[in-house]
Amino acid sequence: MSYIGRRLARAILLLVGVSALCFLFTEIAPGSFFDELRLNPQISPETISALRSHYGLDQPLLVRYAHWMKSALHADLGYSIAYNVPVAPLLWSRAKNTLLLTTTALVLTWMISVPLGVWTANRRGGLLDRMVSLTGSLLISIPEIVIAVALLAIAVRWRVLRVGGMMSADFESFSAWAKLQDLLLHLALPAFILVLSETAIIVRHVRASVLEVLGAPYVQAARGFGVSQTRLLFRHVLPVAANPAISLLGFSLAGLLSGSLMVEVICGWPGLGPLILEATLSRDLYLVIGGIMFSALFMVGGNLLADVMLLALDPRISREGTDAL
Amino acid sequence: MYADSPNDTPTESLLCVQALRKQYVRGGIWRKRVPVAAVNGVDFEIPRGRTFALVGESGSGKSTVARCVTRLERPDSGRILIRGINIAQLRSRDLLPFRSGIQIVFQDAITSMNPRFSALEIIEEPLLIQSQRGQVEYDRRNRRDRVGALMVEVGISPDWMHRSILHFSGGQRQRLALARALALRPQLLVLDEALSGLDLSTQAQVANLLLDLQAAHSLTYLLISHDLGLVARLADEIGVMSGGQTVEIGPTQQIVTSPNHAATKKLLAAARTATSAFAAATGEQA
């Protein structure tokens, strides 16, 4: 089986495993969506029973899982009890917003982290390196939620950015340019929070990877025959140092998504975060499972993307399986 | 601007190292910074076309000397005279004309080559750099011909030039490392434990190759090793290092037969023990 084929098979197995665990844990977890209805004397136990039967919750776990699996293969993730709509379109309408936020944050994070990591490694021990290291340590040690709340408070006080939601109330009356500006102003704060907390981690990883390669004997040998610093960096150091960084990209995508859920809740960004939080609090079973599956899909997709990039950039991987190295 | 005039040193010396010192600083932001003297006063001289060996136990500062001589490190003080010109404190740009004349071969041929390169790319790169600087005119075809010739010279078939270096054995990689070093037609080759990681048979083959190359190109070798047995076979003169200093220098025969310094005696005793242990082991097997 090819490298990508193996990775794809592993990704599918992972998604099946996550879905199975989701069903198991939601079954074990105490309480259900209908618990509040039971407290209402105007709703009879028969009605609740009928509702449970309507959503298939009266069936054994394995049967429910098999039914869900079958429909999930046709992109049907079940029905939201609270919203009374199919889960997949509901999740997708929110996932688009989350994707916009995470993609923006991801691109900005890597655009900042890679040059900064390479620069600080190349100027190890210098003033910039020390400053970046110190700032990074501070950002890593402060919980993301504190950073988010602090920046939100600053944004509200200084009124520099739009806070809450994804667009202004009179968005529809704006011109196309004004709409873009409005969207960017709303996007800026949650994206900045995500960039700030992720950059601190990724700069460290990139710096460490580059430092490791810079100290490699083959880089010393290349220096010995007078390779310029630019060629040394772009021909020898970066292609090799890219491997761990690319692997990190996959995890970074998953990390940004899970981080964005919290940031979305704090900043009022209408993404998956607030939706999953509400679904979890109200025990909207299939919406919770669908939300988790979306997250898992992001993570698996990110890792697959990283694997494809590694395959494209590292000739050793394409030989994997055909050569005994 | 070069610090010394060519008249400062005897003309027959290709390399002359005088009072070389290099220290590193351990510690950092949170720990106290402590200077550690890796090389603390090293002097030696190598006539053109000869082999000088620096021997000493691990941590004695041999490799730091090699790195200073090849100017992978800038020494703190002292002089490194190449054909009479002191390169010890030259800036990177001023060092460029000297780079091609001094090449280094490291101990670990696996890590001393870019793992993503083919044999062709490994050997071709120094030529490419020289061409880009306009030092030598090499077009693509000329470069390939030269790579092929170098591969033949070190005993590897040029048909393998497109193979990834991962496909070569340890001994073959060391031969490729030699080919890369020879690509720039250096006068001085620094062999930093270049034979240490090889098995005995491959070590002997590469040692013979080194002798052949020296005869063919009038190469001057600075051989860094902890193995006095091997050094005795290749070197014309030996310098013994201990605690960052050269404690004894003399012709190979004199150092091996009548050592003066305790460090030399200790190294010789270790070499004899290893030889007798090897003989005993092979005798038992037979």
Give tens-digit pLDDT for B229-250. Answer: 788 888 999 999 998 999 999 9
Name the β-bridge partners of B86: B81
pLDDT digits (tens, 9 = 90+) for A176-226: 888 898 889 899 999 999 999 889 889 999 999 999 888 888 888 888 777
Residues B43 and B225 sit within 8 Å (Cβ to Cβ): no
Amino acid at A276: I
The nearest CA of chain A is from the CA of B60 a distance in Å of 20
Backbone angles phi, psi at B268, to 5 degrees: -65, -40
pLDDT at B276: 65
* Chain A contact set for B103 (CB, 8 A): 224-225
Would B222 be classed as within a structural domain? no
Q: With a CB-CB cutoff of 8 Å, which residues 287-316 of chain A face chain B?
A: 314-316
pLDDT at B1: 32
Q: With a CB-CB cutoff of 8 Å, which residues 53-112 of chain A face chain B?
A: none
DSSP state of B160: G
Among B72, B95, B114, beta carbon nearest to A218? B114
Q: In what order do the strands lie in the sheet with B77-82?
A: B34-47, B13-26, B77-82, B85-86
Would B80 be classed as within a structural domain? no
* Chain B contact set for A217 (CB, 8 A): 106, 108, 111-112
Quick check: helix, strand or coil at residue A272?
A: helix
Among A217, A319, A323, beta carbon nearest to B112? A217
Query: Which chain A residue is nearest to residue B190, measuring alpha carbons?
Result: A224
Q: Are B164 and A319 an interchain contact pair (Cβ–Cβ within 8 Å)?
A: yes
Q: CATH code at B164?
A: 3.40.50.300
pLDDT at B8: 44
- Please identify every stretch of chain A with a pLDDT value under 50, giving residue numbers as ranges: 321-325
- The domain total for chain B is 1
Would B190 be classed as within a structural domain? no
pLDDT at B206: 86
pLDDT at B272: 75
Would B238 be classed as within a structural domain? no
pLDDT at B5: 39
Instruction: Give the number of C-alpha atoms closer than 13 A to the C-alpha of residue B246, restricted to the C-beta side.
Output: 22
pLDDT at B191: 92
pLDDT at B285: 46
B151 is in which domain, residue-wise? 102-185
Q: Are B116 and A227 an interchain contact pair (Cβ–Cβ within 8 Å)?
A: no
Among B103, B133, B166, beta carbon nearest to A224? B103
- Please identify every stretch of chain B with a pLDDT value under 50, giving residue numbers as ranges: 1-11, 284-286
Distance between CA B120 and CA B22 in Å, rounded?
36
Q: Which two tokens stand for residue B251?
A: 């012709």
Q: State the DSSP H helix or E strand holding residue B207, giving kind and residue range, or none if neither.
A: helix B200-217
Residue from A218, A232, A243, A317 to probe the interface with B (highest B Cβ count within 10 Å):
A218
Q: Is A226 at the interface with chain B, CB within 8 A? A: yes
H, E, C per residue of A283-324 = CCHHHHHHHHHHHHHHHHHHHHHHHHHHHHHCHHHHHECCEC
H, E, C per residue of A145-204 = HHHHHHHHHHHHHHCCCCCCCCCCCCHHHCCHHHHHHHHHHHHHHHHHHHHHHHHHHHHH
Amino acid at B63: S
Would B284 be classed as within a structural domain? no
Q: Is A220 at the interface with chain B, CB within 8 A? A: yes
Query: Which chain A residue is nearest to residue B70, measuring alpha carbons?
Result: A224
Backbone angles phi, psi at B54, to 5 degrees: -105, 115
Angle at A237 between CA A235 and CA A240, to 5 degrees: 95
Among B99, B115, B166, beta carbon nearest to A224? B99
The yes/no answer on whether domain A92-319 falls in CATH 1.10.3720.10 is: yes
pLDDT at B284: 47
| pTM greater than the 0.90 cutoff | no
The nearest CA of chain B is from the CA of A218 a distance in Å of 4
Q: Are B129 and A319 an interchain contact pair (Cβ–Cβ within 8 Å)?
A: no
pLDDT at B185: 87
Question: Domain limits of chain A?
Answer: 3-86, 92-319
Q: Which two tokens stand for residue B97?
A: 């004309």
Query: Which chain B residue is nearest to residue A133, measuring alpha carbons?
Result: B29
Residues B61 and B39 sit within 8 Å (Cβ to Cβ): yes
pLDDT at B135: 64
